[in-house]
Amino acid sequence: MQAIKLYNFPRSGHAHRVELMLSLLQLPTELILVDMAKGAHKQPDYLAINPFGQVPAIDDQGVVLADSNAILVYLAKKYGNGRWLPDDPLGAAKVQRWLSVAAGPIAFGPGRARLITVFGAPYRAEETIAYAHVWLKLIDQELADTVYLTGSEPTIADVAAYSYIAHAPEGNVSLEDYANVRAWLARIEALPGFVGMPRTVAGLQKTA
């Protein structure tokens, strides 16, 4: 099989969730650096691949897709053999619920808090951290009764949610009070094929 091209930036959680999915599926992957620090994502050659100027994007033998959650759906449908995205209406809806949480509260909570410390983004740290904790508490409660976010088996919901939650301490968002979340992270990290995102020495991670 020809390698799937993944246009990524190593410190992007959105890009990492796709890299993680490709690795969990054991798909040959060619990583192509889009140096966002130098503005490569806004250059014409990359905008031809993703007009939104965001990472990640993939090229799977001529099938070009952007948006991390959309890519997860594509990979699961094409290569997951029914394992990572249920076909039944309720199972699919449960996954979609968490994809929405990953694109909303997780991105705007733990993800945004990390943007402040790692990239110097001009958001209000105190409000962002408080928002992150509201949602981490809710997620911890959900995980009290289930092994993975939607049930007993991992899905793309877990892949989508993992990166920014795992790296929340980099944004000064402690996971200490969320035992169920930490246990869930450990289960993801124990999956065959797991690959992590490089940790940045920022926020609480400075003393970890």
The angle formed by the CA atoms of residues 49, 28 and 58, to the nearest 5 degrees, is: 15
Q: Write down the pLDDT at residue 201.
A: 66
When pLDDT is cut at 50, 70 and 90, the band that residue 45 belongs to is confident
Q: Is the pLDDT of residue 208 over 60?
A: no
Q: Write down the pLDDT at residue 43.
A: 87
CATH topology identical between 4-79 and 89-207? no
Q: Is the pLDDT of residue 34 over 70?
A: yes
Q: Is the pLDDT of residue 200 over 80?
A: no
**Which residues, other chains included, contact 208 with Cβ-Cβ below 8 Å and sequence gap of 6+?**
169
Q: Three-state SS for 103? A: helix
Q: Which fold has domain 89-207?
A: Glutathione S-transferase Yfyf (Class Pi); Chain A, domain 2 (1.20.1050)
Percent of the chain with pLDDT over 70: 97
For the domain with range 4-79, which CATH number is right: 3.40.30.10, 3.40.50.300, 3.90.1150.10, 3.40.50.920?
Answer: 3.40.30.10
Q: With contact defined as beta carbons under 8 Å apart, do 169 and 208 qualify? A: yes
- How much is the average pLDDT of 175-197? 97
Q: From residue 113, how far is each of 11, 83, 100, 122, 154 by CA, in Å?
A: 14, 32, 19, 10, 26
Q: Where are the domains of the chain?
A: 4-79, 89-207
**Which residues, other chains included, contact 7 with Cβ-Cβ below 8 Å and sequence gap of 6+?**
15, 32, 34, 46, 49, 50, 55, 56, 57, 58, 59
- How much is the average pLDDT of 93-110? 97
- How much is the average pLDDT of 91-112? 97
Cα–Cα distance between 41 and 31 in angstroms, integer?
Answer: 15
Q: With contact defined as beta carbons under 8 Å apart, do 157 and 99 qualify? A: yes
pLDDT digits (tens, 9 = 90+) for 158-175: 999 999 999 999 999 999
- How much is the average pLDDT of 41-50? 89
Alpha helices (H) along the chain: 13-24, 44-47, 68-79, 89-101, 112-119, 125-142, 156-166, 179-189
- How much is the average pLDDT of 202-208? 64
On average, the pLDDT of the chain sits at: 93
At 179, list the tokens: 């035992």
When pLDDT is cut at 50, 70 and 90, the band that residue 95 belongs to is very high
At 142, list the tokens: 């959900």
Cα–Cα distance between 182 and 166 in angstroms, integer?
Answer: 8
